[in-house]
Amino acid sequence: MALLIGALLLGFFAARLPWLPARLRKGVPVLGSLSLFVLLFALGLSLGSSPELISALPTLGFRAVLLSAGTVLGSVFLVWLTVKLGRRRG
Amino acid sequence: MTWKILTSLAAGVLCGLVLQVQNGELLSLVSDLALAALLFTVGFSLGEDRDLWKKVKGLPRISLAVPFLVALGSILGAVFAGLLCSIEPGEAALVGAGFGWYSLSAVLIAQSYDLTLGTSALLTNIFREILAILLIPTVAKRLGKAAAVAPGGATAMDVTLPIVAANTDAQTAILAFYSGTVLSILVPIVIPFLVQLLQNSAG
């Protein structure tokens, strides 16, 4: 948690350095995409390397798909509804 | 972008199947470093925005409630989905309370409640992250910017933050970070609380 907030703050203040070369600035979004790919690759790697998880996938996986869809739909719906009602009132 | 993300994940799974990597410590070190790099780039893009403070102050009051709405919606949505595939409401609520933070929720549930349910939490919250990555652009377009913060849950502060940012605006990126932060703090509070409730009602 501290590492994450530290990295975020470091990035924030690095961007405000007036003398930062433009070439480095342009490289930052590339670093962002690359690190996202590495994260997902690592996640896939730990999934693929766990035989217990792979063999349990068909049964647990189906339920997990339903449950995850439920969490996404439920949270999107509540936020959407609240924003909508808030607009109507205000 | 989406197919690149899915390709990375699929490539990881395939490599894992073939190589059977058992070095979990190295893997989590690499993930931590990549996550730090990702957050550095997010901080950087916020820092490049000179009107940031104005935008934070301009956030509508209702924004403060967003993480709590996401939390409630996630738990209720999971309970409802659980009813469709005969999962006990309490257990479905527990899995939903991972809010997308698969590593922590899986460990918490596996340690304090049940290993299989911990695995379900891992898979559900991984799928939530993938679903969020796929759906955020559409949700942002059809249902509004604030709603685009919801699918990612706790990951709105890291993995799905760049996707929210790319599909909305700087102000919504700030909302996403705030919402993800609050939800990340809620995971280790809500899960033990629900475990307590479940065990009390069972015993």
- pLDDT, one tens digit per residue, over B176-198 is 988 998 898 899 889 999 999 99
* Average pLDDT of chain B, as a whole number: 89
Strands (DSSP E) contained in chain B are none
CA angle B121, B166, B139 (to 5 degrees): 60
Q: Cα separations (Å) of B147 from A35, A80, A81, B80, B192?
A: 26, 5, 9, 20, 28
- Give the Cα separation of A16 and B50 in Å (integer): 9
The model's confidence at residue B161, banded by pLDDT at 50, 70 and 90, is: very high
CB of B158 within 8 Å of a chain A CB? The answer is yes
Q: How many CB pairs under 8 A join A and B?
A: 277
Give CA B147 to chain center in angstroms. Answer: 14
User: From the candidates B116, B123, B158, B179, which should be mutated to test the interface with A, based on the most A CB atoms within 10 A?
Assistant: B123
**Whether the Cβ atoms of residue B110 and residue B125 lie closer than 8 Å to each other:** no
pLDDT given at position B1: 61
Q: Which of B13, B128, B158 sits opposite A47 (nearest CB)?
A: B13
Q: Is the ipTM of this complex over 0.90?
A: no
pLDDT given at position B163: 93
pTM, two decimal places: 0.77
| Rg of chain A on CA atoms, in Å | 21
pLDDT given at position B61: 82
pLDDT by residue (tens digit) across A12-40? 999 999 898 988 899 998 998 898 889 88
User: From the candidates A75, A78, A85, which should be mutated to test the interface with B, based on the most B CB atoms within 10 A?
Assistant: A75
State mean pLDDT over B3-21: 87
State mean pLDDT over B54-64: 80
